[in-house]
Amino acid sequence: MSANDKSKKEPWSGRFAEPATELVQRFTASVSFDRRLAEYDIEGSVAHARMLLAVGIIGKNDLAAIEKGLVQIRSEVREGRFPWSEAHEDVHFNIERRLTELVGEPGKRLHTARSRNDQVATDVRLYLRDAIDQALSAVKSVQRALLDLADEHAETVMPGYTHLQVAQPVSYGHHLLAYFEMLARDAQRLADCRKRLNRLPLGAAALAGTSFPVDRMMVAKELGFDGVCENSIDAVSDRDFAIEFCACATLVMMHLSRFCEELVIWMNPRFGFVALADRFCTGSSIMPQKKNPDVAELIRGKTGRVNGHLVALLTIMKGQPLAYNRDNQEDKEPLFDTVDTLAMSLAVFAEMLLGIQVNRAAMEEAARQGHATATDLAEYLVKKGVAFREAHEAVAQAVRFAESRGCDLADLKLSELQRFSPAIAKDALAVLTLDGSLKSRTHLGGTAPVRVKAAIVKARKSLA
């Protein structure tokens, strides 16, 4: 094979005496998955070419040809007509090859003053910036669905749990708002991640920068970056932004998973708190009666998948010396799958919330079990002047007595309660009711329905 033949095969092949084998080509190729960066690669190339013209590296005719060719390539990509080739390794070489086929010599000038190292770092940042914007929108959709459900159930009483044991009565709306708060933090983290990734690597070239008089700030402005990566070595070797996004995604998925776990538990007839719409469930191939919460289970399962991608990225980066290494090719599949999994999970989760049917009676009945208002009685005694530890002991003894009678604490007669503290009077009976317990917690962040309604109003404003 002549030098000219080899140069037609790979842009870097002039250095080598023999071409890569077919096996090596397959092993090193990334075009099967990094082609999703095509439009971002084109966007970055247009901005780069315009800068090359502005600083006098290429001429107007070159820019016109490059832009025309890239417009055609974008159309081919969108319409599924682009001739992807594994032999050209990655999305960048595929587009560069096609551009040269279309416009000739100007296409060969496009790569002046840049490397695939800063090019791919730019593409991934552009891609991830859009992915974060879409994730933030999806998180808000879930939050709105939570608020709608919480508004409907601000006065629905249920047992609050610790250790999965009945603890105290709470509003189901209040319970749902806990997930709203989790997702609010998730949104903040994603927004912060976006700020940190929104720096332009282009201009760092391979690692040392370039001797050409490039205008990095011009490119950054055109591509919507807030600034440039200040160190050329860090610019091409950094994947913190991808790892940070995956960390944010794991937290979002963990929060969705916790909710899904509750759905799975609460759909069990032993609880019977909720039912899911049929469209979010499947049946059994052998048991005719089954209605399985498969969507909730899959979100719970996909959380492990996203967690694994975070660990994979951390492991890919942990042993790399500066600057760029080919290991970084392995960042894309975990990142892309995290983006896809998060997007799909958020979308189906938001829809699933709309299909939740709440069994108020079952929730209230469960709240009447397990001595849920015991803490209320202890607090009542404290307000009567009894030291908290003494009040705690008195109520604990009353609970033991109720259990020996096979009833709940709230079912004891006044005379029976007074055995354990002379401070207990008739007004204690109101304290032991679910309604009394719920309405008493009117402080900021409390579970009283009036407070839940106020929290919902505030939450809606935060999403506006």
Which of 163, 211, 404, 415 is the catalytic position? Answer: 163
For residue 348, give both structure tokens: 């189906």
CA atoms of 76 and 451, how far apart (whole Å): 56
Radius of gyration of the chain (CA): 31
Taking CA 11 as the corner, what is the angle to CA 6 and CA 14, rounded to the nearest 5 degrees? Answer: 50
Helices first, then strands: H and E counts in the chain: 21, 6
Q: Tell me the torsion sign for CA atoms 221, 225, 229, 234.
A: negative
Q: Identify any residues that bridge with 358 across adjacent strands, giving them in sequence order.
A: 274
Measure Cα distances from 234 to 81, 204, 323, 447, 450 in Å: 36, 9, 7, 49, 52
User: Does residue 141 carry a catalytic annotation?
Assistant: no
**403: three-class secondary structure by DSSP:** helix
> For residue 399, is it left (φ>0), alpha (ψ between -120 and 50) or beta?
alpha
Q: Which residues contact 417 (CB under 8 A, 6 or more apart)?
A: 377, 398, 424, 428
Q: Which residues contact 111 (CB under 8 A, 6 or more apart)?
A: 11, 96
CB atoms within 10 A of CB 268: 10
**274: three-class secondary structure by DSSP:** strand
User: Does residue 45 carry a catalytic annotation?
Assistant: no
Which of 75, 85, 137, 284 is the catalytic position? Answer: 284
- Residue 95 phi/psi, 5-degree rounding, is -70, -40
Q: Is the omega angle on the peptide bond into residue 323 within 30 degrees of 0, that is, cis? A: yes
> For residue 272, is it left (φ>0), alpha (ψ between -120 and 50) or beta?
left
Active site residues: 163, 284
